[in-house]
Structures are given as structure tokens and as C-alpha cells.
Structure 1
Amino acid sequence: MDASVDLSTSMCDGDESMLNHNVNFSSTMITSAGDITVPKLSVTLSEAEILKLRLPQPAGDAAALDASVPMETSLEARSSQEYGEEESGRVIDIDDTVERTSADVQDVPGSQAPEGAPLEFFHGKLVELGRRCWTSSTEVQHYTKGCYWSPDGTCLLVPIHLDGMHVMELPTDLYSTPTVQQSRHLTKLQSAVHVPEGGTVYDCVWFPHMNSQQPDSCFWLATRQHEPIHMWDAFDGSLRCSYSGYDAVDEVMAAISLAFSHDGQKVYAGYKRCIKIFDTSRPGRLCDDYPVKFAISCIAQNSEHSHTLTCGNWHGYVQHFDLRCSPKEGPLFTLGGHKGGITQLRYAGNGCHLFSGARKCGKILQWDMRNYKMPLVEFQRHVDTNQRIQFDITTDCRWLTSGDTRGVLNVWDLTGAGEASVLPLHSDCCNGVGLNPVLPVLATSSGQYHFTDQNAETDNVTLNGSATVVEAVPPETSPHQLEMVYENAVVLLWCGKVQPSEH
């Protein structure tokens, strides 16, 4: 494909390790009251450093931290305009199910956001930064299963079917410039870490406070078929520990979905009939069980309500649980609207808005959790597979992006009511979309499982865009001849400001 795609006019047209050299981003372990919450990890600190962490913060620093509140977005404006000031008698107020904290009381409406220029997305052309491809065949199909940026934006985690998990690093030159040129040379993406696990990876998640300058915080969790939950080191790919869930006959169960609590101290794992809650600092089989009726396919948590979980299941429903309530009471509420199993949930803004997507369902639903009788907006996309098709939202809550089984990227401007802008990026299913949390960089991944005719004597196979014929047989002798497109690739795109090319 071309090195750049014009987004401003018509969107239908088609080294050195960074783990020790990234910039130091502000820590998310500091509460609005000035207290420091350190996850219970095996971080090696001196006695003087531990004493310094326990000392109270200066009054000036605490006041500065209290001034940061969730940024008002167009999502709240839209919902308040639609629903007005009326309250429904059938709506459960989530605020009544959680405890008020000092951080909630000290939030002052109208406070200024933390200093720093906001990121700008999709204001010009998309410039391709780099690409990585995996070969595939009818016998061994290697295809991507999404892409996941680390919280500090330095690493991209990509699970590959039958080839484990790969960690690729952001190109180093992107940290030294706010813009890129249209004619920028392509970076050869290579795996800094490769975990060669076999089988199918069900889900994976980064530690929420991952910082590359703190090696002890650099890890992710992954669950795969017939295996417990594994914690993998992001520096050398070593196995740190495991969290094991067992069934009634004391056999290991594989978790279907994973999520960290926002403070990083707990691991939520979704199983067929329960949610298991592990302590991050206590690997093994010891955990708390929260029974549910359906298999938990995905998990999301609102940052404002640490005692609740929002879970999707394969029956097409989204359920909200209060973990302090008895499991016999069931969920606080249940949301419908999808015709297939829920594959992804994502909170946006200040946590009042939830986005949900499902398999074989051509829409992403936006919910206002304060009045959830019906979804606010339906965003249409093309999904005709059981595979998870990711979507993502920019940090300013203005842009929604999603993959598509046709290989295109859908982009919606949440400040307006226009149709999606469609960018043809891949020749196969675009299953993964990830927006870098600190830079205007977009990652997409492509590939899917192809059902082939086992009785056919030959298949025409297209590997990453180049057509080849495997065991060619004259067409007249092969009536079941198939043509399969195998594009299993990861692409990095710059979606910020672009400089014109130098002549």
C-alpha cells in the first residue's frame, strides 16, 4: 500500500531497545488526596526509599493533584441533552451501590486538566510507519488475534495463532518529533520479545501501571487453551508466575477473559460459571469465587466504582455486578441489543459511557450508564465472524475506531452524528485496532481463520498480498479450486500532524 492515506479529503481512498529509553510519564499510582498506592509487587526498594513513600506529600503537591478531574467530553453533552434532568424510576443509581471516598468529595467541577498539550488525531493524512507480516498456509494458519499497546505506549503486544505472543517496540524517532513527514521511511518491525506458546490465546492484558523505567512493573497476563493464567516478563519473555483456576473435580480450567483492577492489585478472570478474583501479589490457586450463570467473555471496570464489574457473555448480554453483594442476588442490571456473544467492553470519558461490541453483530453500542434503558448511539460496522474485532477510543474521547471483516478501518467522530469514515488498509480481516496512549500512533492487525475444502487438490493462496499457487493442478482436474487471501500483518500508522515532503 502507499506510505500515506489521505484522511482529510476522502477516507474511502485508499535497533536500539526502547524499554530503557522511554520518557518518564506521570504515575497513575497517586490518588487525588496525595496518597501513594503501590501494588503489592516484588519491587526492590531501599529502606530510605520506602520511608520516603510513606511520608505525607507536601501541601502544594496535594493541591495540584486535587485540581485534576475527568475531562468533560462531548459524550456527556450528548446524553444530558437527550435525557435532560429527568430520572427514571426503574433506573438503579450506581452511586448508591458504592462508598463515597475522599477523592469523590474533593473533585471540584470546572477544575483544569493536568498540564500538557492534548494529542490530536485524524487531522490529516495517515502515514505508514512500519509493517510486520507472518506467512500462513492451509495446513498451518498463523493469523493475528488483535494488538494491545502497553500503558506507557512503548510496546505493542500481538498474539499470533499457533505462534505465541510477540512484543514489538515503538520506533525510537517518534519520541523526538511532534510530527512526521509524508515520505518517512518505513521501520522494519521486529519482535523484541517472543513467547513461543502454542495453542489459542484467549485473552491478554498489560499491567495497568506498567512503566519501562521500572522493570518490575513490565509484564502482562495471558490465558490460553488448557493452561492457567501466566504472567510474562516484558523484558526477556520469561514466565514470572501463574494463577490457576480449578473446577469441581480439581482440574485446571482455562480462563476465557482477563482484567486487572485499576490499582493493579487484583486480577479478574472470567470462566464458564464464575469470576475468580486473584491477588496479584499471591500467585497460585488461592482466589475468591463469584458464581455467575453464563460464561464471562470480556470484563471492564469503571474507574470510579472499584467494587463493581461489567461483564459480557456469549449469550449477547452485558451484566453489571456489585462484588459486595451476594451472588444469589444476581447482576444489578442487564443490557441487551446485540445478536451475538459480547467480545469487548470499554468505558470512556469519566466512566459514565460504555461501548460494547459482539461477534457476528454489525454494530457497536454506546450506553449511558446513568440511564441505560436503551443505547445512545449505534455505530455500524461489518462483522460476520466469531473472531473478536477490536475497537478503541482516543484519550480525548473524540474518535472511535474499529476494525472490520472486510479489511477496512472505520473512524467515527463522536462530536458529530456523521457516518463512519472508511479506510481500506488490509486485504484480509482487520481484527485489531489500538491507539497509542501517549502518541498519535495507530496500530492495526489483520488475519483470520479460513475454512478450506479438504477435498480440493489445490488452493490458490495469496500470502500477504502476493498470489501463489500451492501444488498447482490444471483447473480442469480440480473443480473445487479455492482462492484464499492470507494477510497476517501488523501495521503502525501515524494519525497526528504531518509535515509536507521535502523536495
Structure 2
Amino acid sequence: MVEDVTGSLAPRCVASTPSPEVDPAGAQSSSDSSETIKSPYFSSAEWTPDGTTLLTNSSDHRIRSFIVPPDLLETGSVHNLSPYSALPSAEPTYALAAYPFFNLQDPSTTLFLSSVRDHPIRLASALAPVSVASYSLVNPTTEAFITPHSMIYPSTLGGTHFLTGSDSLICLFDVSRPGSDGPVSWLPTIPSKRKQTVGGGIGMKGIVSAMAISPTGDGILAAGTFTRQVGLYSSNGSDWRKGVTQLAWSPCGRYLYIAERKSDGVLVYDIRVTGQMLGYLRGRRAVTNQRMKIDVISAATDSSHEVWAGGTDGYMRGWKNPVYAAGGQDPDWEFKVHDDAVTSIAFHSTGSVVATSCGQRHYLEHDNDSDSKEKGTFKDKQPRENSLKIWFLPS
């Protein structure tokens, strides 16, 4: 049973960016019905490891940092969120990864990686729009840049190395070796991209779009592709499963959650014991090509955990104890948090504060009025909101 939004768990908005107002009269005129609105929207948001800052990626090719007010929960008013810094790019950003020892009190640690199309990987500061270092990932045959679609710092390596996922390839980089040297290790996810019979055809072919390290410290890496495959890597070998646009481990490291594009739910796999699909968290409302990030958090009162996800209808939904029952499971809670697609759900380490971002590309269409058609004016199909918000969720 989904809890009503008026219940004790109803979230309270404590901070927000101003949402731009739409003036239909100011829309660009065009004879092309596929003309898109140029107003930028948030495509993702994530907390830095120290919980002080939010890093966002937007459709205007800018990575912004938002430092959270220290009195976030002490006042009853809604704080205004404004970017502290914005790093522009000439091309879209495909992946972000914050330095695992990010500490706002130590500016030398406030770093993050970003992957930009047709450019080297950048290591930049979250406090100033400058690049600190760059790392080249180049195809040795064509000398063209390879664009990572996912990046992660392995927790077992202490922040000295990072992993990238690209087309049928996972690479390991040494942070202390920037420049044109490239990765220290190349791991193709399939023996041959051109001939499937090579190596028995075992492997996963496609862009590695998501990666997650098991939280138990054993170093198991889950990697997923846009072609709906997931590989589990360890020092002893690999395993292959179906699924993917995002991967998330349960806190115990036994269960793997798989989110896919154009999917109404989240797949649940029991990795450690049966290796089988355990259940399906339905009702997510994410039937879209856009990436819609989920989050997994530990419960505040016991050893269980919860899964939270956003939907295209502006709701965020939560599933309590998702591994205690097999089969399809409906959400236990749902709350209206935005007037547009919720692109990210990012819980603070405290578990009671959650950041949400929203927005998507909207298309314009001709007004039904014949006079307007002759003038070539356009209008929005539906209202839109492009905002980043922080909520307090009572326990």
C-alpha cells in the first residue's frame, strides 16, 4: 500500500534552485515542428563523498557545484540554491566521478572527473572552473579519442586509480600519471568486437554505461552496457547477467539492483547465493530513453535497506525491504517532488536528506489557431520545470 503524501513521512523541501518561468510568446519561431526548447535542464545530480556539495550535469554542457547551507535543517524557510562554480564544456558530458576523499575544508581534495566527447578525461576543481589534469584514452588504431560513458573510483584502491567504461572496454588509470600515457590497464569486455566466435563468444559487447563496486570490500565490480548485459568482475573471473542503465548494490553486498531504459521497474538479483533474479520493483514510471538514477540506502532503524527512484510523472517512490519478498513489488511510498521528470534521487549519508533534480527535453508544436500557424509561432506541449531541490524526510 502506497503511503499517502500527507502521512508522517511526507518530505519537506528545505532548499531549491529557482525554476525558470516559461513565456510561450517568447518561444522561437520555426517551421520545423521538432524544434526544441533551449532552456537547460538538470540531467543528473549527486552528492560529494563528504556530503557538503552537490555536483550536477545540465543540458547546457555545464557541470555545476552547489555547496549546501550549513543551517539547512535549522530554519523553517526554503533555502535558495545557487551554483558556486560552473565548468563549461564544448561537448556533452557523459560521466562524472567525485574524488572519494572529497573534503570541502581541504581545497586540494575538492576534485572530480568528467568525460567529454572527443576530448581527454578531465580532473577539475569543484570550487573553480579550472582543469587540474587530463588523461588520454585514445584508440591505438585510429588515434581517435574514446569517450567513457561511466567512471568510478574503486574503494579498494584508496583514490589512487579510477576505472572508465567505454565501448566494450574497461580501463584502469593511475591518477598520478596524467597526460598522454593513457591507462595502465586495458580490459576488453569481449574477446573480439568484430567476430563473436573468438573466445567462445563469452563476454558483453556494447558501451559500458554503468559501474558499481561491491560495498563489502572484496573488490567485485559490476559493469553494465546499453545492450542490456551486466558483467561481474573479480580477481577470480567474471559472470554475466542481463540488464542496464544503472547498477546499485545493497549495503550487504548480496543483492544487485539493475535499472534499465524504458522500464517501469528495477530488477533485483541475488548475486551471492542463487545468482538468480529475485524480484522486480514495479511502478517506477520511467518508460523513457533518459537516464533516471535510483538510490539505495540503509534503513534508519534496522539492518534492512530501501530503494528510491524518480519517475517521469514528477514523483519519487520508495520500496522498503525489497529483498524480503519474491516477484513484483509495488512502492511503499510516493511523493510529488517536481512538475517534470525526476532525473536523480541522491540521498545524503545521514539518510534523512535527499536531493532531487528534474527536467527533460521538450518539443514545440504548432498552435491549433490557424492565424498562429501562418505566423509560424510555437507553444509548449506541457509545463516544464528545471530545478534542483533538497528535501528533509522524517523517519
**TM-score range with shorter-chain normalisation?**
0.7 to 0.9
2:256 to 323, 331, 354: 354
Task: Indicate the residue corresponding to 2:13 in structure 1.
Answer: 128
Question: For this pair of structures, how many residues does the alignment match?
Answer: 352
| 1:234 maps onto 2:234 in alignment | no
Task: Indicate the residue corresponding to 2:144 in structure 1.
Answer: 251
SS at match of 1:376: strand
Letter in 2 for 1:491: K
Q: After superposition, what is the alpha-carbon deviation per residue over 1:197-225, rounded to whole angstroms, capped at 9, x for unaligned? A: 24322111111121222222211111122
CA distance in 2, matches of 1:485, 1:201: 26
CA distance in 1, matches of 2:383, 2:368: 10
SS at match of 1:216: helix
Task: Indicate the residue corresponding to 1:36 in structure 2.
Answer: none
Task: Indicate the residue corresponding to 2:188 in structure 1.
Answer: 291
CA distance in 2, matches of 1:268, 1:188: 35
Larger radius of gyration: 1
Task: Indicate the residue corresponding to 1:425 in structure 2.
Answer: 337
| 1:345 maps onto 2:247 in alignment | yes
CA distance in 2, matches of 1:146, 1:459: 35
| 1:187 maps onto 2:79 in alignment | yes
Displacement of 1:449 after TM fit?
1.8
Q: After superposition, what is the alpha-carbon deviation per residue over 1:310-332, rounded to whole angstroms, capped at 9, x for unaligned? A: 1001111111123x57xxxxx62
Task: Give the conservation status (yes or no) of the 8 Å contact 2:3–2:334.
Answer: no
CA distance in 1, matches of 2:74, 2:271: 39
CA distance in 2, matches of 1:219, 1:459: 50
1:164 to 54, 58, 62: 62
Task: Indicate the residue corresponding to 2:291 in structure 1.
Answer: 388
SS at match of 2:108: helix
Task: Give the conservation status (yes or no) of the 8 Å contact 1:436–1:442.
Answer: yes
Task: Give the conservation status (yes or no) of the 8 Å contact 2:363–2:381.
Answer: no
Q: After superposition, what is the alpha-carbon deviation per residue over 1:126-180, rounded to whole angstroms, capped at 9, x for unaligned? A: 1111211454863424111111001111001111111401111112213xxxx65
Distance 1:191 1:151, change over 3 A: same
Distance 1:479 1:160, change over 3 A: closer
1:401 to 308, 317, 331: 308
Q: After superposition, what is the alpha-carbon deviation per residue over 1:262-306, rounded to whole angstroms, capped at 9, x for unaligned? A: 021211001112111101221123311111232211111124455
1:152 to 47, 50, 57: 50
Letter in 2 for 1:210: F
Displacement of 1:439 after TM fit?
5.8
CA distance in 2, matches of 1:459, 1:250: 51
Task: Give the conservation status (yes or no) of the 8 Å contact 2:348–2:354.
Answer: yes
Displacement of 1:367 after TM fit?
1.7
CA distance in 1, matches of 2:380, 2:389: 27
1:213 to 105, 108, 114: 105
Q: CA RMSD in A?
A: 2.9
Task: Indicate the residue corresponding to 2:352 in structure 1.
Answer: 440
Task: Indicate the residue corresponding to 2:195 in structure 1.
Answer: none
Displacement of 1:246 after TM fit?
0.3
Task: Indicate the residue corresponding to 1:119 in structure 2.
Answer: none
SS at match of 2:95: strand
Task: Indicate the residue corresponding to 1:63 in structure 2.
Answer: none
Task: Give the conservation status (yes or no) of the 8 Å contact 1:382–1:404.
Answer: yes
Task: Indicate the residue corresponding to 1:113 in structure 2.
Answer: none
CA distance in 2, matches of 1:319, 1:439: 29
| 1:266 maps onto 2:161 in alignment | yes
TM-score, length-scaled by structure 2: 0.81
Task: Indicate the residue corresponding to 2:200 in structure 1.
Answer: none
CA distance in 1, matches of 2:339, 2:353: 21
Displacement of 1:186 after TM fit?
1.1
Displacement of 1:233 after TM fit?
0.8
Structure number having the greater strand percentage? 2
Task: Give the conservation status (yes or no) of the 8 Å contact 1:300–1:345.
Answer: yes
Displacement of 1:491 after TM fit?
1.0
2:239 to 328, 333, 354: 333
Distance 1:240 1:481, change over 3 A: closer
Structure number having the greater helix percentage? 1
Displacement of 1:346 after TM fit?
1.1
Task: Give the conservation status (yes or no) of the 8 Å contact 1:133–1:487.
Answer: no
2:175 to 280, 303, 315: 280
Displacement of 1:395 after TM fit?
3.6
Displacement of 1:385 after TM fit?
1.2
Letter in 1 for 2:99: F
Alignment gaps of 5+ in structure 1: 1-7, 14-121, 326-330, 461-471, 498-503
Displacement of 1:482 after TM fit?
5.2
Indicate the larger mover: 435-444 or 299-308: 299-308
Letter in 1 for 2:69: P
Aligned-residue identity in percent? 22
CA distance in 2, matches of 1:279, 1:378: 38
Displacement of 1:252 after TM fit?
1.5
Q: Within 5 A, what are the aligned runs for 1:72-111?
A: none
Distance 1:422 1:9, change over 3 A: closer
Task: Give the conservation status (yes or no) of the 8 Å contact 1:434–1:444.
Answer: yes
Letter in 2 for 1:286: G
Displacement of 1:351 after TM fit?
1.5
